[in-house]
Amino acid sequence: MNIPASLDDMLKASVMRYGPREALVVKNQILSYSELGLAVDKMAKQLQQKGVAKGDRVAVWLPKQIEVVVALFAATSIGAVFVPINPALKPRQVDYILSDCSATTLVTTKARSVLLSAGWQADAAAPLLFNTTSPPKTQVDVPDTLAAILYTSGSTGNPKGVMLSQANLCTGTVSVAGYLGITQNDRILCVPPLSFDYGLNQVLTALISGATAILHDYLLPNDVLKVAEQYRITGLPGVPPMWSQLVDAVWPAALAGQIRYITNTGGRMPRAVFDKLRLHLPHSDIYLMFGLTEAFRSTYLDPRLADVLPHSIGKAIPYAEVRVVRPDGMETADGEAGELVHMGPLVALGYWQDDARTQARFRPAPTCATSVTLGTISVWSGDTVVRDKNGFLSFVARHDDMIKTSGYRVSPTEVEEVLYASGQIADAIVTGVPDDTLGQLIVAAVSSKNGEAVNTEMLLKFCRQQLPGFMVPYALQVVPDLPRNPNGKLDRAVIAQNIKARHNV
């Protein structure tokens, strides 16, 4: 499969080749490839009529629906930049993203738009499109090849925008579609949010292959299985918490012969979960994958090896090169832990308007790199892994304090800021404790304000009002005072240890 020059070229080729076939399905709404092409052209014209120009950021804040996919291709077809926003985020988080990327246009519903602090106005001719009342406050230089900005939580509190180029998206699409062997006979259930690079990749790999992408949001595990049977799903992606829920559900008998493959990323799948899945899907290929938004996708394990190496994250995907290096940039020995470094055309362009974090994370490739030119920029993941004698990688830990829960990376600082905003506490530290189902549970240690009692029920209620469900603390620990280091700062490491000790970890 050739790598398209752009998403626009990719879609046009698929429309020409697969015209009448089903491209997208959402509940009772079905779009063929030809109809998708027409919808994209229509929205592209609407965006241009609004004055959207090359490099402008077009944000989308919608539930998982066909318009999200249409907006992606419409924006990139006119040279604008697509910014998908997780529909589960609260208005204050959406406000931050819109301001940070200086969005000129927002695609959303009227009901959602009125929740935002910025002055978004509806266009009567296109009820899903909204414009700001004034031009963006900051004029910024936009890389010529920039196609999308995906926001992911950062360790400093505010989410960071990862800049993905046309080459990143197209190369990643061809790579994943290739090793998964996706064809026009596949029907892929797109469960992860499309603001997540994993979720976005499900749609792109389907569309480049002539397959059908079924967009679905679920509340209960049984919903996934019912929809999988109803829509004759052959490809089922997921994250560890979803698999942990599904393995104990009652599976329709038809799925064992229907599902060709499943994929897992966003955390290691526990062996007990893997074994139960194998009982449900004895003939299906199980792809264990690993990646980060900054490299779009990194490694996968050949499904023929999944039963014997279930803890491995495999080897580099096609078009990528990965190395395990020491702090000095030299490659580690087999069995020696080191940092995973990603190289090649899947490495993102950096962080939007954040030179300091870009320079810290995106650095010249280590000298042990083989397929890239010396000096080429690579992404240093901050992930510790080990390579065995056969070149297979196993994940060890993350260098930073990010919490991995329900397939999401959650910033402790962002949750702490909400706890402080409640006005009920003096100090707060948030950390994660291991959990077999969710990966980690979010636990907060808080100190009382002026010796006053902390109403934990009210505090958690406030968190639920301000945060999406996956970011709400599982538990609160109230203490008289939180330890500080000699500089007067809260000692995050000591507090995290205390939290884990209370949870017997």
- Using one digit for the tens of pLDDT, what is the confidence trace for 206-243? 999 999 999 998 777 789 999 999 999 999 999 887 88
Indicate whether 486 pLDDT > 50: no
List the structure tokens of 372.
């890239």
Average pLDDT over residues 405-425: 85
Average pLDDT over residues 278-282: 95
Q: Can you give the length of the chain in residues?
A: 505
Indicate whether 320 pLDDT > 80: yes
Q: Counting Cβ atoms within 10 Å, is residue 382 exposed (0-12), middle (13-18) or buried (19+)?
A: middle
The CATH architecture assigned to 403-502 reads 2-Layer Sandwich (3.30)
Strands 212-215 and 126-132: unpaired
Indicate whether 156 pLDDT > 80: no
Confidence of residue 136 (pLDDT cuts 50, 70, 90): low
Average pLDDT over residues 426-444: 90
Average pLDDT over residues 51-76: 94
Indicate whether 177 pLDDT > 50: yes
In this predicted structure, which of 112-126, 190-204, 450-464, 466-480 has the lowest mean pLDDT? 112-126
Domain boundaries along the sequence of the chain: 7-217, 403-502
Beta-sheet strands, E only, within 171-244 = 187-190, 212-215, 235-238
Of 134 and 353, the one with more pLDDT: 353
Mean of the per-residue pLDDT values for the chain?
Answer: 89
- Assign domain 7-217 to its CATH superfamily: ANL, N-terminal domain (3.40.50.12780)
Residue the block writes with tokens 């469900």: 469
Whole-Å CA distances, 311 to 167, 244, 266, 383, 397: 31, 16, 14, 15, 13
Indicate whether 279 pLDDT > 70: yes
Q: What is the pLDDT of residue 231?
A: 96
Tell me which residue of 445, 8, 397, 25 sits closest to 213, measured CA to CA. Answer: 25
Buried b (16+ CB within 10 A) or exposed e, 278-312: bebbeebbbbbbbbbbbbbbbbbbebeebeebbeb
C-alpha torsion 164→431→360→418, nearest 10 = 70
Amino acid at 295: A
Q: What is the pLDDT of residue 124?
A: 64
Give percent of the chain above pLDDT 90: 61
Q: Rounded distance, CA 210 to CA 90, Å?
A: 35
Q: What is the pLDDT of residue 416?
A: 86
Q: Phi/psi of residue 384, each to 5°?
A: -95, 125
Confidence of residue 133 (pLDDT cuts 50, 70, 90): low
| Best mean pLDDT range from 175-184, 189-198, 443-452 | 175-184
Q: What is the pLDDT of residue 284?
A: 97
Of 157 and 149, the one with more pLDDT: 149
List the structure tokens of 287.
């792809």
Average pLDDT over residues 130-143: 65
Q: What is the pLDDT of residue 114?
A: 86
Of 139 and 2, the one with more pLDDT: 2
Domains 7-217 and 403-502 share a fold: no
Indicate whether 384 pLDDT > 50: yes
| Best mean pLDDT range from 124-128, 187-191, 294-298 | 187-191
Give percent of the chain above pLDDT 70: 93
Q: What is the pLDDT of residue 146?
A: 96
Confidence of residue 281 (pLDDT cuts 50, 70, 90): very high
Q: What is the pLDDT of residue 286?
A: 97
Residue the block writes with tokens 């899947």: 346
List the structure tokens of 489.
């700062």
pTM for this one?
A: 0.85
